[in-house]
Amino acid sequence: MAIRFKYLGQEYQADTPEEAIKLEALLRAATEKKAKADPAFARKVAQVESGWTEEKLRHALNKIGPMQMKMLVRIWENETIDAEDLAKELGLPSQVALAGVLSGLSKQLKPLNVRPNDILQIDVLWTGRNKTRIFAFQPGFEAVAEEYGFADSFLMDEESNRKQKKK
């Protein structure tokens, strides 16, 4: 009986479980080697592995509120940003208020079976007793956002909102 498996969205077949394991290991090694040499390929692999598609991205972005969208724009503009600076850029009084924005993101995305950590990577750094949270996008989300031009639309929407507020 043939063993079938998928790797990066493509179906493969092997005669035995051992062959399937070896083939998958060879595929992973070849993918890792190519990804190290080709950043565009690495982004595409991250996108496929993450499960992000244009449709999923559109649904997620249409589901979130204005404050959550503003947060995503700020992270995009900065690539990485710590929680304190992110709260300031969003006009929030504290990191506790930022936690509320994140909670809202979680609640808005839940019906789509998307979690905030499918979109955001939050690293915690400790310096002595000081804790710093660093926000960035998950590579798969970032790749699909970049590929489909949604990052540009984030920034254009944000810029038009800023101009309207100045009038």
Kindly report, residue by residue over 120-156, the tens digit of the pLDDT.
Answer: 999 999 999 999 999 999 888 888 888 877 666 666 5
Residue 23: the pLDDT is 87
- DSSP 8-state code for residue 25: H
Closest CA relative to residue 133, chosen from 142, 122, 141: 122
Alpha helices in 110-149 (DSSP H): 116-119, 139-147
- DSSP 8-state code for residue 111: G
Give how far the C-alpha of residue 16 lies from the chain's centroid of Cα atoms, to the nearest Å.
36
Residue 115: the pLDDT is 92
10 Å CB burial of residue 145 (0-12, 13-18, 19+) is buried
Kindly report, residue by residue over 36-53, the tens digit of the pLDDT.
Answer: 888 777 777 676 777 788
Instruction: Tell me the two tokens of residue 159.
Output: 């810029």
